[in-house]
Amino acid sequence: MKKLTNQQKIDFILEDLEGWLIQSGDGDGNSSLRYAFENGYHLHAASLWIDSGAMDEDLQKKVLPVKINHKKEMKEVDHLLENADIYVCTECNHHQFFEKSVYGDSVNEIDCPCCFEGTAIRED
């Protein structure tokens, strides 16, 4: 079997993520992954997907380890922070990214869709 390039590995990871997003629908629990993926933050989306533990096990065997260029990912994150509202849960530290127009400027707290116990507070 021919060895995969790092970019091919990332492409397979993004393809798996895309399939999961299609299957899971529009629930709030996947909004950060969806936001990162659909807005072109692909290195960050791949990193989040790897860390989620939800990636297909056969795919993990095929593509891991993969190298995510941290410097390029952090450039994506910096851009993301400029263009999204970020809510962080006080209980589980789950970060949610939303389009700025989703909740508007007046909503500073939302229920955490991850742990269902905490309150996610919008960061400035």
Q: Residue type at 44?
A: H
| Cβ density class 30-47: b for 16+ within 10 Å, e for less | bbbbbbbbebebbbbbbb
pLDDT at 29: 55
Give 55-116 as a DSSP string: S-HHHHHHH-S----HHHHHHHHHHHHHHEEEEEETTT--EEEEEHHHH-TT--EEE-TTTS
CB 88 within 8 A of CB 121: yes
DSSP code at position 30 = G
pTM over cut 0.85: no
The predicted-structure confidence for 18-46, as pLDDT tens digits, reads as follows: 999 888 876 555 678 888 999 999 999 99
pLDDT at 116: 87
> Looking at the domain assignment, is residue 98 inside a domain?
yes
The DSSP bridge partners found for residue 119 are 111
For residue 51, the enclosing domain spans: 6-123
The predicted-structure confidence for 96-119, as pLDDT tens digits, reads as follows: 888 887 887 888 999 988 888 889
> Looking at the domain assignment, is residue 64 inside a domain?
yes
Distance CA 84, CA 82 (A): 6
> Looking at the domain assignment, is residue 114 inside a domain?
yes
pLDDT at 97: 85
Q: Is the pLDDT assigned to residue 1 strictly greater than 70?
A: no
Give percent above pLDDT 70 in the chain. 95
pLDDT at 43: 96
pLDDT at 55: 92
> Looking at the domain assignment, is residue 1 inside a domain?
no
